[in-house]
Structures are given as C-alpha cells and as structure tokens.
Amino acid sequence: MARILAVEDDPVGRDLLAITLQRLGHDVLMVESASEALRRLRDWQPQAMVTDIVMPGMDGIELLREVRADYPNLPVIAVTGGCMGLIDPLAALMEALGVQVLTKPFLPADLFAALERCAITSRGAA
C-alpha cells in the first residue's frame, strides 16, 4: 500500500479515481484543485501523485512545475482526456517534466501498470 495524492476537478472523475486507487490497495487522498494539492503535499507526504492535466485555475502543468521544485523525485502520473496526435505537444511537455502520461479512458489495469513503473506496488489485483 502506498499513500497517493490524487487531483481531479471533475466530481465523477474524482470518485472513479479514488475508487480505482482504493481497489488497487492504496491509501488515497483526493483533492479537487492543484492549489489544494500543493497545500496537502507537505502535511500528508504522499509516495506518489496522480493528477489531471486540464483543470480550471492552476492546471496540471503549473502544478507539476511547483511540485518538481520541492519534490523532484516524487513519482507523478498525469492523466488526460487528450488523444493521440491531437495532444502531442502537451504529452511531450509532460514527458519533459519527467512524468508518465496516462490517456483517458483507461482501465484500472493501466493505472496499476503505470504505478508499478513508478515502483509503487499494491496488494490489490489489477
């Protein structure tokens, strides 16, 4: 089990992400904005972060730049509803920031595999 901070502005998407991570066996703290994520990073000290990219206010890119400044080694998975070819510039940018990009829609097994690539393992089945 790992402590995972997850950031998603959409309420339904937030529920889905929380349940998926919990079913994978992780301890999840869900927040609905990037600014709230920055506040909770210090006190909750997650072992990984999963964040949406396109969000109102501070978006995933700004959040990652802030996170990278203080937590350069925190494993991060960015999720986006973007799609092949159409959102390549954004995916390239995220890769340059050293984060994995998971394109929605994805299966729980895809998130499990992405977390495993970050060396985050869980007790749950994918």
Partner 1 sequence: MMDDGVKATSALVRDPVRRFVHDLNNHLGTAIGFSSFLAEDLPDQSAEQGYAVRVLEALMACRDLIGTFAAQQASLRRAAMPAHRPRLLLVASDGIVGDALAVAMEAAGLEVAPCRSVEEAVEILKEMPRWDAVMASAADADILAHLFDHHPDPVRLLYGGVDEHRADISFSAGRPAIEVARLVAALLLHA
Distance separating alpha carbons of residues 119 and 32, to the nearest angstrom: 25
CB 20 to partner 1: min, Å: 6
Closest to 31 in 3D by CA, of 16, 51, 45 = 51
Task: DSSP for 56-112, please give it.
Answer: SSS-HHHHHHHHHHH-TT--EEEEES--TTTTHHHHHHHHHTT-EEEESS--HHHHH
Contact region for partner 1 (CB under 8 A) — 17-25, 41-49, 114-122? 17-25
CB 15 to partner 1: min, Å: 9
Identify which of residues 47 and 102 has a Cβ nearer to partner 1 in the complex: 102
Chain positions 60 to 119 lying near partner 1, rule: CB under 8 A, are: 60-62, 65, 80-90, 93, 103-108
Q: Distances in Å between the alpha carbon of 44 and those of 3, 5, 18, 56, 76?
A: 8, 8, 16, 23, 15
Identify which of residues 1 and 83 has a Cβ nearer to partner 1 in the complex: 83
Distance separating alpha carbons of residues 61 and 93, to the nearest angstrom: 8
CB 16 to partner 1: min, Å: 4
- Judged by CB under 8 A, the number of residues near partner 1 is 37
CB 121 to partner 1: min, Å: 19
Interaction site with partner 1 (CB under 8 A): 10, 12-13, 16, 19-20, 23, 35, 53-62, 65, 80-90, 93, 103-108
